[in-house]
Structure 1
Amino acid sequence: MVNRVARITTIFISSILIGFAFNMFLLSHKVLSGGVSGIAMILGLLTSINSGTLIFLLNIPIFILGWMKLGKRFVTISLFSVAVTSISMGIIPIAKISEDPILSSIFGGVLVGIGTGLIFRAGGSTGGFDIVSMVLTQKKELPLGTLLFGMNAIVVFVSGFIFTWDLALYTMASIYVTGRVIDAIHTRHIKLTLMIITSNGDEVKEKLLSNLVRGITVLDGEGAYTKEKRRVLITVISRYELTRVKHMVAEVDPHSFINITQTIEVMGYFRRT
């Protein structure tokens, strides 16, 4: 219960931080964020509609897709994050903290990266292209980072054609800084090997297989002291998926034992989600 409250609090504060960065550093200089948020910012700058409202509306069809493909819990947390960010953008005024667009792009990108990275670590996402990319990588072996870069590039080019190419370059710098900070906080590229020892092997296996696109090796085990029969499940996941996996295993078997080790290299087929 304490961990759940801590995660929700982290997502809540981080989402407000993202809204603050959008309004006080980026939108005030017509600098955009990446993904769906960037598209919403473009529409917000061209119309009288608040960008926060547009972020929420544009994410609705994406959340419906994620609900069907990625699971209810993950999408619910992500929906909460986007809703808090949207509301905070409607409350926080759009004002310039710095008159320098370069400094605003960098510091805005840092704050967005911190907020997004913490949300990832808490088991959620900021919606948008993150969810789209995760759904696409379930079907084909495509690197998530490459997909996100390609989608964000669209925002940069649209920004250049609609506004100025200087603003497009500021946007590119902000997106780059955001990505670097997210990687530093969340380290999604790190692979982990999990050894799950449980008395409910079949149930845990089915839970993981229905929510992850990962292979699982199942071994028979026996407690040295208790002589009880156990199942040993071995799988390799990305750091991005760790929080979800721990909660799924705990739901089925709260008394399971999980050994988590960092994987140096993976040879063979591995989906890079």
Structure 2
Amino acid sequence: MSGADHAPGGPGEPPRHNLFDDLQALLTGTLFVALGLVLFRQAGLMTGGTTGIALLLHHATGWRFGLLLFVINLPFYALAWRRMGPRFVVKTVAAVTLLAWLSEALPGWLQLAWVAPPFAAVGGGLLIGAGFIILFRHRASLGGLNVLVLWLQERFGWRAGYVQAAIDAAIVLTALPWLDATRLGLSVLAAVAMNFALAVNHRPGRYVAF
């Protein structure tokens, strides 16, 4: 990329990210999220977002998880294309693909014998929240509800972390038939930790995603 790619878009605007900036952000952000999901899976915790919705529907219907996740994300990609532009959608599709690959590869690189469930909830939640922030700041997301909450933040000024926390908590609570009370409570704690990181570090007017 040329030096012009780092030039401000206008008076008072910050420099734009170049291709290297975006590539490292996609790799780092998705790696953080994948590591957080490893901790969740090890502790048997539920997650929110479209991943959580797909898991709920999988448990309820027996339909294939991958197909459900793909179908659930389609309307959100359409929203992203219309409201945020093709560049955002391309980066988001790349991030989702990379996360899918890392989720398959990590068990071969990292094997955990045991993890304390409370640590998995808090540590995994903070890792995922940090990963989301990195992606958001480079005009990318992991699709689904990330797209919706980012649009709501940019359109109405609603804090992305608070909106995501409310949605994720509702999804996790819906998983009650498949979780015992302890894992349900820890899953809610994980959603709170993840969205605490978002709410504190990704505020409207400080560093927007678009």
- Structure 1: gaps of 5 or more residues: 193-238, 245-273
- For 2:187 and 2:142, the matched residues in 1 are separated by 18
- For 2:44 and 2:71, the matched residues in 1 are separated by 21
| AA at the equivalent of 2:123 | F
Q: Which residue of 2 aligns with 1:236?
A: none
Residue 116 of structure 2 is aligned to residue 111 of structure 1: no
Q: Which residue of 2 aligns with 1:68?
A: 82
Q: Which residue of 1 aligns with 2:24?
A: 9
- For 2:107 and 2:57, the matched residues in 1 are separated by 17
- For 1:36 and 1:61, the matched residues in 2 are separated by 11
- For 1:150 and 1:17, the matched residues in 2 are separated by 22
- For 1:41 and 1:157, the matched residues in 2 are separated by 13
Structure with more relative contact order (C-alpha pairs < 8 Å, separation 6 or more): 2
- For 2:82 and 2:204, the matched residues in 1 are separated by 27
Q: 1:165 aligned to 174, 181, 191, which one?
A: 181
Q: 1:150 aligned to 148, 163, 166, which one?
A: 166
**In the alignment, is the contact (CA less than 8 A) between 2:39 and 2:115 conserved in 1?**
no
CA displacement, residues 41-96 of structure 1 (integer Å, 9 cap, x when unaligned): 44567769566x75455323311222122211112111211111122212333964
1:1-273 aligned within 5 A: 1=1, 3-22=18-37, 24-42=38-56, 55-93=69-107, 96=112, 98-135=114-151, 141=156, 143-145=158-160, 146-184=162-200, 187-191=201-205, 239-241=207-209, 244=210
**In the alignment, is the contact (CA less than 8 A) between 2:154 and 2:208 conserved in 1?**
no
Q: 1:63 to 1:7 in 2, by over 3 A?
A: same
> Which 10-residue stretch deviates more, 86-95 or 32-41?
86-95
Q: 1:190 to 1:48 in 2, by over 3 A?
A: closer
TM-score w.r.t. length of structure 2 = 0.75
- For 1:85 and 1:160, the matched residues in 2 are separated by 27
| AA at the equivalent of 1:27 | R
Aligned residues: 191
Moved segments of 4+, more than 6 Å: none
- For 1:98 and 1:42, the matched residues in 2 are separated by 25
Instruction: Name the structure with the higher strand share.
Output: 1
| AA at the equivalent of 1:39 | I
> Which 10-residue stretch deviates more, 129-138 or 30-39?
129-138
> Which 10-residue stretch deviates more, 34-43 or 103-112?
34-43
Instruction: Name the structure with the higher helix share.
Output: 2
| AA at the equivalent of 1:11 | L
TM-score w.r.t. length of structure 1 = 0.59
Corresponding residue SS for 2:208: helix
**In the alignment, is the contact (CA less than 8 A) between 2:30 and 2:95 conserved in 1?**
yes
| AA at the equivalent of 2:167 | M
- Structure 2: gaps of 5 or more residues: 3-17
Query: What percent of counterpart residues are identical?
Result: 18
Q: 1:109 to 1:149 in 2, by over 3 A?
A: closer
